[in-house]
Chain A
Amino acid sequence: MSTFLAKRSLYALGSLLGATFLVFLLLRVLPGDVALYYLVGSEGEASKVRPEDVARVQALMGLDKPLVMQYLYWIKDAALGDLGESLWLNREVRNALTLALPITAQLTLGGVLIGVVLGIPLGIVSALNQDRPIDYLARVVSIAFLALPSFWLGLLVLLVGVNLFTWSPPVGGRFLLWSEPGQAFQQMIFPSLILGSHLMAIVARMTRSSMLEVLREDYIRTARAKGLQERTVIGVHAMKNAMIPVITIVFLSIGTLLAGTVVLETLFSMPGIGALLLQAINHRDLALAQGLILFMAVVFVAVNIMTDLTYAWLDPRIRLQ
């Protein structure tokens, strides 16, 4: 197990290094001179800027050094936990990240919770009623939720809220569940539901197909033949094995949910990492955008490793291979 973990982590570190380089390159070819943009903004006149000012800002941002050196400096600092300075926010990137993280974390966790709590029962009901109307209904519901764009669902929530209930979510504030539960709940309930609805669909589909497979196994027939209650057969015997792929797909979806927060945080004006990333890209704030994407990639890769480990832990057959 420990060699498995060590090997897996080493590979992950390698792909992360590659990923950081990719992000770094992508943002360097960002159209427009970043230093110029910083000085004049999007509306100002570029011709009025003195070249020495541009050079000064470039030096400040480290843009005057060769690309490889820039990358090496950045990765060295990042490894030490220093992600540089955001020129747009005038604050350390690490600082901005820690401020935004709790918002995104509670939103994502809310989404996972909703997806799992709704998705698993839906999938089980679907599997137990295979090819009956209720199964069709559940499958259509889940495949429909996969097709509904999250930003549209969000807009519909705003539409109905504003027009029918004169309700709109609290805007812009940084509300945390543990300090301002009421406000935070109002702010995150609908984004979480929308984020979770997508996961619900994925979980329900996986639960259904994995449950159907497990129900055909001999040991389920044995359990029934022993005279166990159907509830025990399904809830204990079948669930134990059927849940393994479901857990995997939940873990793997966390990265997608994290990316989904870009849309929902922007739409509901929540000051989380996703909304911040979009603003950073729009403001050509290299350090901030780089830092946030790196952070998301690290979380994503870490979650993937955890998935492999959980998988190996839940299913001993995997360890033997």
Chain B
Amino acid sequence: MATQATERRPLDQAPAWLRPGRRYLAGFGRFLKRKPLGAAGLFMIGIVLLGAIAAPLVTLHEPTTQDVARRLQGPSAEFWLGTDSIGRDVWSRIVYGARISLLVGFVAVGMGATVGMVVGVMSGYLGGRVDTVIQRLVEIGLAFPSLLLALALMAGLGTGLDKVIIAIGLAMMPRQVRVMRGVVLSVKENPYVEAARAIGCRQGRIMLRHIAPNVAAPWLILASAALGGAILTEATLSFLGMGVPEPHPSWGRMLSGAASRYVQVAPWLVISPGAAIAVLVLGFNLLGDALRDVLDPKLRGR
């Protein structure tokens, strides 16, 4: 594909804070001021992210160290959130659990949303037989509620951290493809696409250089909205015993089995993991909502 090295396209449609350059920071500040809920979401994510990165610095124990002699202890100076049924430090497991949640969330969404973008652009732009085949496949995926699809995939793939990520990524793909295709269908009617075709651009180039950048904003919204869902799905699968296996500290896993058995003697086992999930998912939901309002109000309700 022949490309002019100096070609640059203006990003006029993008809001100020997405444009490169010095105005980036100012625009970001304005986003925080105009969207207090989005700022709150960003703050929540920031806290969890910080904890995940600095995990060894903010914990006193390894998340996997067992000490059966000190099982089911209440919160204390040494065990800030108490210990679980085999004597592991709950606070450490919460902090290290953030790594698992963020890892699963980002990788699964990265996978699902990227494939969703590529396939959605191809399906929407090329149309015809390609579109028909892809959409029939998408409909098969859409015949299940996504949690059920993830559950069935886990049943087939078996347990493991990598399998969880694959299952969640695959389960979200049909919807991602469907929505991206819809966006592409409206973008491809623009005169600049027609112009590109008229001067003889190849289809690959049109999709890559003309369609893709112009569906980037809705794609970002869709992906950020999917993050909270992916983290929630991981927690749910792990809670059901079909997700992240031991000894990985997964928030959902911490709530399965032992937690419900010790509801009476060790209520702290129930409270903290759920609160952690809620904070992170709420953070992503708030941020996703704010991003959508700023970038593309038309996507509301999708």
Contact = CB atoms under 8 A, between A and B. Distances in A.
Whether chain B is bound by chain A comes out as yes
A170 B84 CA distance: 27
Interface string B137-172: 101101111111001110111100000000000000
Contacts of A25: 156
B278 A147 contact: yes
A27 B143 contact: no
B37 interface: yes
Nearest to B275: A152
Contacts of A16: 143
B148 A151 contact: no
Contact of A11 (B139, B155, B285): B139
Contacts of B136: 14-15, 18
B139 A15 contact: yes
Chain B contact surface mostly = helix
A300 interface: yes
Q: How large is the interface on B (under 10, 10 to 19, 20 to 34, 35 or more residues)?
A: 35 or more
Nearest to B229: A146
B240 A26 contact: no
Interface in B217-265: 228, 232, 235-236, 239-242, 252, 255-256, 259-260, 263-264
Contact of A26 (B145, B155, B271): B155
Interface of A: 11, 14-16, 18-19, 22-23, 25-31, 136, 139-140, 143-144, 146-153, 155-156, 158-159, 162-163, 205-206, 209-210, 245, 249, 255-256, 258-260, 262-263, 266-267, 277-278, 281-282, 289, 293, 296-297, 300-301
Contacts of B259: 155
Contacts of A150: 236
Interface of B: 37, 136-137, 139-140, 142-148, 151-153, 155-158, 228, 232, 235-236, 239-242, 252, 255-256, 259-260, 263-264, 267, 270-271, 273-274, 277-278, 281-282, 285-286, 289, 300-301
A155 B285 contact: no
B282 A143 contact: yes
B232 A15 contact: no
A29 B277 CA distance: 32
A296 B278 contact: no
Contacts of A245: 301
Contacts of B139: 11, 14-15, 18
Contacts of B289: 143
B155 A149 contact: no
B263 A262 contact: no
Contacts of B301: 205-206, 209-210, 245, 249
